[in-house]
Amino acid sequence: MSQSKQELRAQLLKNRVGMNPMNRAKENEMLLANLTHYLTAKRPKRVAAYVPNSIEPGGNLLIDAVHARISALILPVSLSDRRLDWALYEGPSKLSPGAFGILEPTGTRLGPEALNFCDVIIAPALATTPTGIRMGKGGGFYDRALATGVKAEVVTLLFSGEIRDDIPVEEHDRAVHVIITPAGIRNLGAF
């Protein structure tokens, strides 16, 4: 990982931490409205998502907003080899902190290949390029998961100003098909 990428990642995290709580709430409200519009139009049956922390786009309302509109929601379980397993979301009482302190489902694991049965994958990102190359937090979990040949439409949620043309792109970085921001839905199409 390049030093400039580490520095940009640190700056993006600092920006999220320093975001005014009222602005964050307003951006999350608009993000979730745009995500709801997207899900209503797309009508997916099975979605893979993640449990965001309080400073990530969508915040504490993301999972329930997605779950209310689909028949099956799966969430990641981090494995020690930096891969992701998946389990069905069965409500907030069935989440507990995983290996990295991130809330994960406690139910039966479905295996890494569960992504192959999803219509939509909502992948976390700190930012993307205008062409949709995502910058994650640096662990490579999602780049590895998305590199397995999944056919689902990959979506990411970003706050205003997180689509940037200064993101260093490396060979392993994966693109998304749709970027949802408070301003709207940017459909980049299939790759």
52-56, 103-107, 122-126, 141-145: which has the minimum mean pLDDT? 141-145
Give the number of C-alpha atoms closer than 13 A to the C-alpha of residue 67, restricted to the C-beta side. 15
Q: Exposed, middle or buried: residue 42 (CB in 10 Å: 0-12, 13-18, 19+)?
A: middle
Class of domain 3-187 (CATH, top level): alpha beta
30 is in an annotated binding site: no
Two structure tokens written together for 160: 């205003």
83 is in an annotated binding site: no
- Round to whole Å and give the CA distance between 49 and 102: 13
139 is in an annotated binding site: yes
Break the chain into its structural domains and give their ranges: 3-187
Q: What is the pTM of this model?
A: 0.91
142 is in an annotated binding site: yes
Per-residue model confidence as pLDDT tens digits over 49-98: 999 999 999 999 999 999 999 989 999 998 878 889 999 999 988 999 98
Are 88 and 74 within 8 A, CB to CB? Answer: yes
137 is in an annotated binding site: yes
Per-residue model confidence as pLDDT tens digits over 126-136: 999 999 999 98
